[in-house]
Amino acid sequence: MTTPIRIGTRGSKLALWQANWVKAALQKDHPEIACELVIIKTKGDKILDVPLAKVGGKGLFVKEIEEALLNGRIDLAVHSMKDMPAEIPAGLCIGAVPAREQPQDALVTRSGGGLDTLPQGARVGTSSLRRSAQLRHHRPDIEICGLRGNLDTRLKKLETEALDAIVLAAAGLKRLGYGDRISAVLDEATMLPAVGQGALCVETRADDATIRPLMATIDDAATRTVVTAERAFLHRLEGGCQVPIAGHGRLTEDTLTLTGLVAGLDGQTMIRDQLEAAASEPHRAGIRLADRLLERGAKTLLEELQKDA
């Protein structure tokens, strides 16, 4: 293939790490191809002084890249799966889901201790409604402080904004070599991860007969199965950034275990459930779990949250 494959990505260090990982993986399996990165600035990159929940729903970090994919400016796009809206635009598809990095959230503290060691009234930085709701549920005394910016910026703000701790995805810290900054990995009973957290999404045009066959070598079947279930759960709940929704699946041989959660903003209301299903039916499992939560009160809670948004 003489024409380089153009890989669309955001320009942050983490986004570039992810895009370069996909580039290297493709070239390892297909040494005959050339790849080049095309950096695209998204709305989420441009608006840094407003909490994500107030800027808009999911898609803040992918829309402009998807537009470039649709109009042929790039050939494939690399995203963090947790940034992906539940619905993919017509004409595009998830071409590959590489093997997942650790999906849990990590606590980075000034003291080096875990959540229980934080002082009364500790200042904890996060702009995620999902994280703040679960933190408030376990530690109602905590003061949540808004935290935007790339990973380096957020780590610096731990010191410059007099925070006691910040919450970040463990995957991002590990990918950029900051694993030693993790004070504690938050267990899923305390902090259920975001749908797709720790996984990458390689998006392609659905009818691209040149690019789509290349995806098979970087697609991980187990990760795709679990992420499919999580995303079906999210889609059924019609969740976006304005709503505290969490979902995480695990695969053990032929059994998929899926856990989901919908929370009130204050963390007092927490509707959570888990189910086991056949690994061969991940989409159905996600819908079933969402329906169970909706029946247990999530429907009313989501309606209230959307009304207040």
- Kindly list the catalytic residues: 83
Give the bridge partners for 251, in sequence order.
256
3-state SS assignment for residue 94: strand
Could you count the other beta carbons within 10 Å of the beta carbon of residue 95?
22
Q: Do the beta carbons of residue 198 and residue 159 sit within 8 Å?
A: no
* Placement of tokens 């998830």 in the chain: 94
Residue partners of 34: CB distance under 8 A and separation at least 6: 1, 2, 3, 4, 5, 27
Give CA–CA dist 271/46, Å, rounded. 34
Q: Where are the alpha helices (DSSP H) in the chain?
A: 13-29, 43-46, 52-55, 63-70, 129-138, 151-160, 170-175, 221-237, 282-293, 299-308
| Angle of CA points 47, 130, 114, to nearest 5° | 105
User: Could you give the CA distance from residue 302 to residue 86 in angstroms, rounded to a whole number?
Assistant: 16
Q: Provide the pairing of β-strand 76-80 with 255-263.
A: unpaired
Instruction: State the DSSP code for 80.
Output: E
Residue 86 CA to residue 12 CA, distance in Å, equals: 23
Q: Copy the structure tokens of residue 187.
A: 């267990």
Please state, in angstroms and rounded to a whole number, the distance separating the CA atoms of residues 270 and 45. Answer: 31
